Structure 1
Amino acid sequence: MTGIEVTAWLAAGYGLVLLLVAYGIDRLARRAQNRLLEQRNGGFVYHEDHDAWLCPEDQWLWPKSFDPDNRVMRYRGSPSVCNACPVKDTCTSSNDGREMRRFVDSWPASESARFHRGIACSVTVLAVAWPAATAFTVDGAGRLLVLVTAVAIAVGALPLWSHLRRTPADPLGAVVRTLDETLAEREAAAAALLRRRTSYASDRRANHAD
């Protein structure tokens, strides 16, 4: 465009490059996190439809607890099954069963991931500030160019910022029950209902006798 100073073009280009760098940092950090998790999983596969992990020996690890501070769901295999497993020595040293973990939040979930996302967001601040500051040193079409570029970069950085702040889905933490706990709860409810019905029947008999 005619009449636009070289300084304006450089500032606009530099800001756009920094935005790409920010997304590159976030992408590389996410890939590194995924590779690390795959290595830690050691052949274990998470099945979302069951909310459980399946180990290489075709045994299930069911949810046992939830860590509300770190937003991590913990799964554990049956101790009797794990302790009798032929590959236990290469899987876990615990006698309480193999434990697996899963972040319940989308990326970035861990503190390490949030640290890298924070770096990426800091780069976007510089990406916006550079052309915005250049607007004070250029005139006319050059000023319009750098201002429009700064706004465009700010809009482009919104996806990075929108997921940085961790907002728990449930401030009180998730309530997790195992299958045995669920069955025990149902049995207790059925027993309580039976006692109430028996009590009602006794009352009716007593009233009828009177």
Structure 2
Amino acid sequence: MSDALDRWQVERAEALDSLDSIHGKITGRKRGRKYDTKHLNRALFVALAAEFQGFCRDLHEDAAIHIANSIQTVPGNAKVVPVMLDALVRERTISLSRGPSRDRRLDKGNADFSALVTDFATLGILIGDELKARYPAKSPKWERTLKALNDARNGIAHSDTEKLATSDRDHGLTLATFRRWRSSLNGASDGMDRVVGAYLLDLTGTKPW
């Protein structure tokens, strides 16, 4: 597995587990204390969105590093150089007055599905198409989960009562929903790791992880 997936399954999982545990200690896993529970629940969703976005950034960087390293380890691989050059051009824009500036959507906004498609495309990876081809039944569910999570996260982060009401009505911003969405993103992270790894093997001729 990639370093990104390892971090998701260990370091990032531990962070989310600790919040789940704190939730249980405060609430006693009992219904009630509606105000306290509401705000604890919201913290869970913000953390889940942040950790998954971190995973996506890590996976993108792991892929970029493997492509860069393959130029040295696989001499004469004509497929790699155009991808590398295109990624460099699209990833950084150079201004004489401001210097280099990153242009990766995962660094500036939510890890929504369109951001994943856009950013991985800089490395030549059609991640949306690859996920749908390999996981035709699961991929749409992952995409729906990610949209619902980011909608909830935005409502919480911006104190948008209308968005929060919609998210709560449609999904229920509860501990059970957090766990269900987390389980879905566990599947998505594993799927992303596999399709990116397969693409890199085909592109460079060497296993990335």
Q: TM-score, normalised by structure 2?
A: 0.30
Question: Looking at CA atoms only, which structure, 1 or 2, has the larger radius of gyration?
Answer: 1
More strand by share: 1
Q: TM-score, normalised by structure 1?
A: 0.29
More helix by share: 2
